[in-house]
Amino acid sequence: MAIWLLLLVLLVAAWALLRVQRLRRTQPSELPAARTLFDLRTGDIVQCDGRDWVVEDRLLYDEDGFQWLEYLLRDGPEARWLAVCEDDWLEVSWLEQGPPALLRQLASAATPFPDQIHCEGLTYERREEGRASATSSARTMNRHLASCRFADYEAEGQRVLSVERWNDDETEVTIGRRIDPAALALLPGDGRSVYRPAG
């Protein structure tokens, strides 16, 4: 009788052990780490203004040792830039591509950056300009982008505008606003691009 009882206890213990191992295999071994504005990765989600934006690229700019980040975000066909700069305090900007007419006006590399830019009824004053190099974290090739000359502008109501001239032959203009970092929700993703084919 004692042998049967011992066998029954061993069978129950073996069944319990198998059950625990099976549960461990079906549950993730570790939860994704929480994200901050300084460590977003490809595939992470930025929630802003009631929409989910997927991180597609992370550019690290460097101007003689001073660094800042810009994230390329996508929601379907739409794109935004999330700029993160930490100097005396944290500045976060939400940007989109500027109007084509303004791009044409500023496209010439021979033209110096103006002191003021008038756009959509606002006057933007130049706050700073310089030259920076940029490195991409999401690209497989060409991770080290060329250097760019840039100028940053501000207008009333926390409005911002940025002009970048890459290799003195390609100009990009973005326009947007400063935002409160607390208005954003940052969610970890799986590290894969949603909009770029897997390679």
Where residue 132 falls (left for φ over 0; alpha for ψ -120 to 50; beta otherwise) is beta
pLDDT, tens digit (0-9, with 9 covering 90-100), for 19-75: 656 656 555 555 567 899 999 999 999 999 999 999 999 999 999 999 999 999 999
* Euclidean distance between CA atoms 20 and 68, whole angstroms: 47
pLDDT, tens digit (0-9, with 9 covering 90-100), for 96-147: 999 999 999 988 767 889 999 999 999 999 999 999 999 988 765 455 577 8
Q: What is the mean pLDDT of the chain?
A: 85
User: Is pLDDT at 184 greater than 70 in this prediction?
Assistant: yes
Q: Full-prediction pTM beyond 0.85?
A: no
* Euclidean distance between CA atoms 113 and 91, whole angstroms: 22
> Would you give the DSSP letter of residue 82?
E
